[in-house]
Chain A
């Protein structure tokens, strides 16, 4: 097997990975960026609404970074580490400035400064945006910048696993998708910036590639996931493509209706109606569908038609575009088909504010792959792009310090084992193929570890996922092609998804309270006395080991979360 050596390997070419690589390369270290897709195809490109930032001299005069910390802490239902939220907030302005200086085409105010707008959960408007394609704009800007530096890109290289030697991380094994040839990448530090895991759920707004490979790699290497039970769902994703229809559609007067044409939110939230919080609306929609008042396929309608063509086109351009291009529906003339879908993963590889994992020296994580605990139990809109860049940079700088004090590492003794494990699927002559298991897994997670949770469902999920993990041992790959064999990589992704699923289901069963996005029908209240603490979960063979860690509170004591 070929062996390459770097100071640092960054796995992931989204916003977080590229920002980290920028810092490491700028400090003169040798860095490789591995990505299973060409970097600009990363999920970061999907972000629509914007990036939150308090900018000195270009914010609401009454606003301050302190308010931004507070909004973030409250939005996260107090499971936020407040020191992390402070870094996020205080460094937000300089991050937006940095991206602007690299060419990002933020929308402007008449005087040429970066424009801003309101987003859910903000006391004052703070969101900076590039039309409704903020993620795409920022991802291209940072890729353009970093591709001009001394960084080696390995695009369409699939990372299989971390290498651990003498209880520290010493590199990764990856495979070029085109030639199917594996290689070891020796490194003193590895940064996981592998993004989220929406594909675990039957319905998700995430990209097809979001299979959470990094979470699984970290687990298999012996690192913990922090707060894995926290998964965010969005009430209005377009049926059946699950493309996000922004909250703005309801904000502007859109009405949700069931198959009888009834405005069903009158039953679930008589006061706030269609504008009730995301989790309430998601639960209402799913109840309608479950009780037979949805449309075939399992959706309800978001009706905008009464708003009139002019208004819709002016104020809800993106909903119009999405409806027309992706569902063949013109929202001016007929209602949009919508249903809830998984949207964001708050849990992640356990790291501190420098992106370092406490279990394994040399292991770092950033972006949606990491849990720095800035989002707590529920992420605020437009805080996630910000997190990828702020903590991508913090992590990059911490890696540089780590390298300055780091000794040479010993080569991993047996990297071939990683490849053999992967190839074991190909060697088999019979068994299940990935599609069968994948479907069941995504259905189980959606029905039993989704918007509604209770003991019965979660227990059922744990045993189902455990069973699927056993079935997957007999998975096999029918395609024997030695170029770009996507079936092979889908099988590996499925293996990764199963490893996380068992952790998510088990920790969700364990947390007997409702907080943020984690809603237990059998424990509908938040319970700070018992549960104001982070979950840490390890995967040892088939056992999920759970421990806890206190939440860092600097100033904001928990209070009830009402809006």
Chain B
């Protein structure tokens, strides 16, 4: 077993309102077990008490210690210092505050925007009156429990939102964590405010770009994008609730039709059906510039074999 202590350099992006931004380097002795929260604690207690960061549980359940470590959005307590050294091949570990939130001091960011997103989805169960008064009791199937628990384990760390491109450009988008939370209640059989929740969630769900960043970074394996996909499936039932979802629903209808016709996704056709011919032509011109659209328009699909079977499975749309 290798117990040897090793010295690593930790380069921290510092900030204070008084002094602005600067980089500071520390040297810390670590062994193969040392978590990044411990590294920061040693710096603070032994070298530089002015360094500010958040940390509480040191076991990845409280969500305090989100930051960027060697460029990646991570929980510091879930990051072993020497594993970073192995991964990057460099003895220097670069630590920065989470992206996308205003920095208050050093690694401490202002999460107000994150919390507000969470409150927008009314993150609490609305049980029936009878249950609340103790007149009756919930039963919940074990499989529902485990399905819901997957999405309920969010620790509000903010990492997914900090790495979500859609949140940056689309003010109407609730963001990954809020969607995971929202879906967790939307699909809880014990909840009573189904329609109200659907109204808040459906349109926003169509604003996600499916880039899977949230899936990558979430330390609790919540897979918010999966919650978003599942929320989209509610569109047919409730109908579109805004711009994004009406485009979105037309989009998925077009996808379905394209598959039904040829057994393949015909990009060009789907695009035209979703956005209408005129809109499509406008964006095609934009796309031509990088050659993408040519491919979209040009490809003419042959039917794949077994398409007739597939049609049956899809319910044979006329």
Set of chain B residues within 8 Å of A109, measured between Cβ atoms:
142
Binds B, one of A132-140, A415-423, A525-533: A132-140
Set of chain A residues within 8 Å of B123, measured between Cβ atoms:
144, 147
Q: Mark A125-167, 1 if CB is under 8 A from B, else 0.
A: 0000011010111001100110110000000000000000000
Set of chain A residues within 8 Å of B17, measured between Cβ atoms:
481-483
With A108-B145, A178-B104, A435-B45 as given contacts, are A40 and B52 in contact (CB-CB < 8 Å)? Answer: no
A113 at the B interface (CB under 8 A):
yes
A429 at the B interface (CB under 8 A):
no
A466 at the B interface (CB under 8 A):
no
How many Å from the CB of B142 to the closest CB on chain A?
4
A490 to B52, CA, bound (A): 11
**Quick check: A240 and B3 within 8 Å, CB to CB?**
no
Binds A, one of B87-95, B129-137, B224-232, B300-308: B129-137
A46 to B108, CA, bound (A): 22
Set of chain A residues within 8 Å of B315, measured between Cβ atoms:
none
**Quick check: A485 and B105 within 8 Å, CB to CB?**
yes
Query: For chain A residues 448-501, which have a beta carbon within 8 Å of chain B?
Result: 477-487, 490
Set of chain A residues within 8 Å of B105, measured between Cβ atoms:
481, 483-486
Total residues of chain B contacting the partner, CB 8 A: 68
**Quick check: B61 and A136 within 8 Å, CB to CB?**
yes
With A41-B62, A46-B59 as given contacts, are A97 and B141 in contact (CB-CB < 8 Å)? Answer: no
Q: Mark A287-328, 1 if CB is under 8 A from B, else 0.
A: 000000001110000000000000000000000001001111
- Write 26 A-B pairs (CB below 8 A) sorted by A numbering: A37-B54, A37-B62, A38-B111, A41-B62, A42-B56, A45-B56, A101-B132, A103-B190, A111-B139, A136-B61, A178-B104, A207-B56, A208-B37, A208-B56, A240-B33, A241-B38, A243-B59, A326-B77, A435-B44, A479-B50, A481-B50, A483-B16, A483-B17, A486-B108, A487-B44, A487-B49
B285 at the A interface (CB under 8 A):
no
A507 to B302, CA, bound (A): 85
A107 to B152, CA, bound (A): 13
Binds A, one of B78-86, B161-169, B208-216, B271-279: B78-86
A327 to B78, CA, bound (A): 9
How many Å from the CB of A303 to the closest CB on chain B?
12
A242 to B41, CA, bound (A): 14
Set of chain B residues within 8 Å of A477, measured between Cβ atoms:
49
How many Å from the CB of B148 to the closest CB on chain A?
6
16 new A-B contacts, CB < 8 A, other than A112-B139, A297-B31, are A38-B156, A40-B156, A45-B56, A45-B57, A101-B131, A103-B185, A108-B141, A137-B153, A207-B56, A207-B62, A242-B58, A297-B3, A326-B58, A435-B45, A486-B105, A487-B50
B: which residues have CB within 8 A of A? 1, 3, 16-18, 31-35, 37-38, 41, 44-46, 49-50, 52-64, 77-78, 80, 82-83, 104-105, 108, 110-111, 115, 119, 122-125, 127, 131-132, 134, 137-142, 145, 148-149, 152-156, 185, 188, 190
Main SS of the interface on chain A? loop
B60 — nearest CB in chain A belongs to which residue? A325
Set of chain B residues within 8 Å of A243, measured between Cβ atoms:
58-59
A442 to B216, CA, bound (A): 38
A468 to B183, CA, bound (A): 53
**Quick check: A97 and B35 within 8 Å, CB to CB?**
no
A110 at the B interface (CB under 8 A):
yes
